[in-house]
């Protein structure tokens, strides 16, 4: 598709697609992102959708959005403010226009701006006509009617089906406007709708009609080009956090040589992992959709007892139910990976929205003293390595391990330099094969002196028959014991085993190019926003250091040295200060928080303001 209009160059753009839940905005955003990734820009995305599958059409709660930030340089976040808003109806305009940068561009589907939809969105009059949008550059496009017109010759579809292709019209127009390659989307349509060729034809025609509209309409005088970013050489793909996590678990199975068993109960935003693993049976992956969260965890632990890599995935409201199984895994000292894709709470909360509210739950939410290692992913692609790391610790130390992600990482995506498999760690282990006692007996709780891990003797191994359980065990023999000194010893040994993992994890990396006296310490999905904010603060001539924790229990061994080296410490969290509490308690430093719990990621600008205020104090 050749270009005849002038092309302007931009460094970066933030586009938000917004429409009804049923308008296909997530698909549109996904496709635009794939085109952008294939073009070679750096990018980050933020899908934002309601929990309701189809909220009432045209209503404010039913608005679904997808934001994509792409640039000719490396970027860290999906962008604070969209520069372009595609609004498929009045409700989408109303919900999103407040976020748009002044002077930004709005593309509206004028066909949807009828009295009924305006009323549903709470507009007394049409905002396009009455000057409410004078701060913006508005393109009025009759998306629905032009789509229907473009598809009038397609046989076998109703006019309602024709109208539903309008998201591909919008995608075609945006693809033209930003000079995105179209081949990937056209191939996608062919394969996705292979079973309904008439729908494939309709969507292809709608896409091309949108593209051609941009090319011919006088409303669009120029198109834009954002040059590819200079990224590290290698082969890339676009990946979301949940897909990266899925692949990380499969990789952990391959790297350990243990068959993967997933016990899960469907829950937003973790269900993708169950669904994706269910498609990977050729890797020997067994997925068990259990009757409840408890059984999901229990079955995973049972599989671990038998020598599999037992994994259970959920979100906070499901993870609470698994805590008794995690406690049993602590007592049994068997590997188990528990994935918590955090969402806003308490209780059911806001299922599709991110939060960092579960840190203290996974640290302490069990009876008695039951220490469990905690690993947290920092970026969508980072979920891959985080999953391998969680499995590595679980297998090597025979312990349950919590892996924290969140709704933003789960659904957000970014380009990923696909790793060379030879760079991935060997996480294999050895099962016990013979007696380990001096008298030729088998002692299931006799520990490895270095790791303090106990032997993993799986059923089927002759001569090592033994019984384990939740009752306190005598050191070494594993027999039931109520001896006071033995219990104290076992509590200490379990604690020492987990604490000792600190010697086996990377040091906390510090980014302090200028010798600052203020440190920003983060964990989890705030990584991008903290990094972007630090860039702004440094660009403004101030000094700030950053560090990001990927291990929350135990902390890396140099964490105390790092935090004590700074006069001022800021801990931004999408909770009311959970890491801050741990850091203050552990290291006696006066860390302060930046805490907003809105069910959305931090904006780089607000964090930059908070950092600046602390630096200047």
Q: How far is the CB of 191 from other proteins (least distance, A)?
A: 11
Strand partners for 71: 12, 42
- Residue 80 neighbours by CB distance under 10 Å: 20
Q: Is 318 in the site for other proteins (CB under 8 A)?
A: no
Q: Which of 61, 122, 156, 234 binds other proteins (CB under 8 A)?
A: 234
Q: How far is the CB of 119 from other proteins (least distance, A)?
A: 42
Nearer to other proteins, 317 or 444 (CB): 444
Show the DSSP H helices in 99-182 as ranges.
115-120, 143-150, 159-163, 166-177
Q: Is 474 in the site for other proteins (CB under 8 A)?
A: no
Name the DSSP letter for residue 567: S
What is the distance between the alpha carbons of residues 387 and 272, in angstroms, rounded to a whole number?
Answer: 15
Burial code of 458-497, b = ≥16 C-beta within 10 A, e = fewer?
Answer: eeebeebebebeeeebbbbbbeebeeeeeeeebeeebeeb
Binding mask 129-168 for other proteins (x = CB under 8 A): ----------------------------------------
Q: Is 462 in the site for other proteins (CB under 8 A)?
A: yes
Q: Is 380 in the site for other proteins (CB under 8 A)?
A: no
Give the alpha-carbon dihedral of 561, 563, 568, 572, to 10 degrees.
170
Burial code of 572-592, b = ≥16 C-beta within 10 A, e = fewer?
Answer: bbbbebbbbbbbbeebebebb
Q: Which of 60, 132, 186, 468 binds other proteins (CB under 8 A)?
A: 468
| Residue bearing tokens 């473009």 | 150
Q: How far is the CB of 228 from other proteins (least distance, A)?
A: 8
Cα end-to-end distance, the chain, whole Å: 56
Binding residues for other proteins, rule CB under 8 A, total 68
Q: How far is the CB of 479 from other proteins (least distance, A)?
A: 7
What is the distance between the alpha carbons of residues 209 and 229, in angstroms, rounded to a whole number?
Answer: 29
Q: How far is the CB of 463 from other proteins (least distance, A)?
A: 5
Q: Which of 153, 155, 218, 232 binds other proteins (CB under 8 A)?
A: 232
Q: Is 184 in the site for other proteins (CB under 8 A)?
A: yes
DSSP codes, 71-85: ESS---SS-SS-SEE
Q: Is 418 in the site for other proteins (CB under 8 A)?
A: yes
Q: How far is the CB of 298 from other proteins (least distance, A)?
A: 4
Listed ranges 131-139, 158-166, 235-243, 369-377: which one lies at the site for other proteins (CB under 8 A): 235-243
H/E stretch holding 96 reads helix 90-96
Binding mask 293-312 for other proteins (x = CB under 8 A): -xxx-xxxxxxxxxxx-x--
Q: How far is the CB of 308 from other proteins (least distance, A)?
A: 5
| Residue bearing tokens 């669904």 | 275
- Residue from 138, 136, 137 nearest 109 by CA: 138
Nearer to other proteins, 40 or 65 (CB): 40
Which residues are at the interface with other proteins (CB under 8 A)? 34, 37-38, 40, 184, 231-238, 247, 250-251, 254, 259, 261, 263, 280-286, 288, 290-292, 294-296, 298-308, 310, 324-325, 328, 332, 418-419, 421, 459-471, 479-480
């Amino acid at each position: 598709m050749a270009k005849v209009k002038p092309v302007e160059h931009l460094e970066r753009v933030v586009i938000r697609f917004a429409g009804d839940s049923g308008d296909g905005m997530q698909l549109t955003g996904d496709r635009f992102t794939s085109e952008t990734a294939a073009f070679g820009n750096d990018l980050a995305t933020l899908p934002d959708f309601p929990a309701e599958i189809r909220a009432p059409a045209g209503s404010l709660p039913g608005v679904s959005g997808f934001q994509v930030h792409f640039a000719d340089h490396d970027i860290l976040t999906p962008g604070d403010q969209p520069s372009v808003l595609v609004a498929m109806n009045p409700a989408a305009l109303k919900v999103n226009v407040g976020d748009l940068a002044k002077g930004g561009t709005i593309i509206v589907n004028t066909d949807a701006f009828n009295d009924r939809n305006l009323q549903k969105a709470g507009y007394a009059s049409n905002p396009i006509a009455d000057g409410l949008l004078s701060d913006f550059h508005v393109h009025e496009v009759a998306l629905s009617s032009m789509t229907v017109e473009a598809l009038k010759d397609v046989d076998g579809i109703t006019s309602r089906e024709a109208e539903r292709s309008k998201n591909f019209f919008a995608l075609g127009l945006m693809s033209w406007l930003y000079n995105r390659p179209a081949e990937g989307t056209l191939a996608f349509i062919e394969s996705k709708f292979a079973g309904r060729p008439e729908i494939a034809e309709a969507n292809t025609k709608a896409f091309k009609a949108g593209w051609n509209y941009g090319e011919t309409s006088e409303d669009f005088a120029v198109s834009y080009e954002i040059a590819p970013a200079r990224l590290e050489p290698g082969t890339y793909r676009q990946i979301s956090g949940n897909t990266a996590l899925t692949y990380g678990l499969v990789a952990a199975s391959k790297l350990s040589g243990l068959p993967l068993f997933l016990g899960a109960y469907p829950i937003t935003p973790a269900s993708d992992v169950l669904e994706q693993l269910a498609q990977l049976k050729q890797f020997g992956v067994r997925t068990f959709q259990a009757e409840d969260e408890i059984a999901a965890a229990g079955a995973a632990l049972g599989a671990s007892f038998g020598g599999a890599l037992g994994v259970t995935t959920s979100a906070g409201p499901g993870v609470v139910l698994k805590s008794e199984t995690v406690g049993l895994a602590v007592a049994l000292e068997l590997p188990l990976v528990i994935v918590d894709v955090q969402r806003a709470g308490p209780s059911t909360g806001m299922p599709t929205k991110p939060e960092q509210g579960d840190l203290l739950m996974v640290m302490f939410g069990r009876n008695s003293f039951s220490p469990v290692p905690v690993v947290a992913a920092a970026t969508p692609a980072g979920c891959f390595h985080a999953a391998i790391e969680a499995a590595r610790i679980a297998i090597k130390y025979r312990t349950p391990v919590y892996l924290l992600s969140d709704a933003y990482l789960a659904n957000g995506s970014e380009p990923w330099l696909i790793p060379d498999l030879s760079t991935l760690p060997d996480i294999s282990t050895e099962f016990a094969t013979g007696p380990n006692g001096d008298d030729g007996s088998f002692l299931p709780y006799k520990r490895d002196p270095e790791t303090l891990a106990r032997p993993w003797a799986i059923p089927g191994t002759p001569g090592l028959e033994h019984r384990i359980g939740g009752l306190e065990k005598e050191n070494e023999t594993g027999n039931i014991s109520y001896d006071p000194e033995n219990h104290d010893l076992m509590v200490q040994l379990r604690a020492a085993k987990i604490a000792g993992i600190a010697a086996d994890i990377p040091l906390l990396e510090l980014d302090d190019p200028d010798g600052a006296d203020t440190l920003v310490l983060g964990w989890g999905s705030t990584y991008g926003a903290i990094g972007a904010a630090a860039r702004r603060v440094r660009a403004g001539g101030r000094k700030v250091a950053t560090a990001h924790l990927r291990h929350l229990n135990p902390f890396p061994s140099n964490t105390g040295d790092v935090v004590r080296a700074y006069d001022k410490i800021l801990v931004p969290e999408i909770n009311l200060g959970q890491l801050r509490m741990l850091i203050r308690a552990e290291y006696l430093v006066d860390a302060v928080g930046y805490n907003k719990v809105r069910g959305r990621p931090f904006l780089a600008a607000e964090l930059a303001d908070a950092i600046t205020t602390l630096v200047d104090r």
